[in-house]
Amino acid sequence: MLYDPAMTDDATTVQTSGRKIKRQIGLLLHPDKSPYGKAIVPAGTPPLELYQQVFGEINDAMHYYEVYLVSHQTVAQTLLPVKDNPLATT
């Protein structure tokens, strides 16, 4: 996910890409997108409690990731291999 250009778009550092990934996950797993928001819940859909548990675990994972980046600024400022980074390491 971190090096996927579709997810990180024009992010040049790990910290910026982490913010973009968090935003994408928030949009993909927004409660409005839940299968339980539909009039008819599709067959084979996991229970609502499991859906909420997984969403909570993903939020926790992103929170731990952000805390790690804040506590280690050298990691947060690591350049990603994109065409616009100063070292031109695409």
- State how many domains the chain has: 1
Residue 62 maps to a domain = yes
Please give the chain's pLDDT, 90 residues, in tens: 555 667 767 777 788 888 888 888 888 777 777 888 888 888 888 888 988 898 889 889 888 888 888 887 787 777 776 666 666 665
Residue 55 maps to a domain = yes
SS3 78: coil
pLDDT score recorded for residue 38? 82
Separation between Cα atoms, residue 50 and residue 31, nearest integer Å: 13
Separation between Cα atoms, residue 80 and residue 87, nearest integer Å: 10
pLDDT score recorded for residue 16? 82
Structure tokens at 68: 């790690």
Residue 84 maps to a domain = no
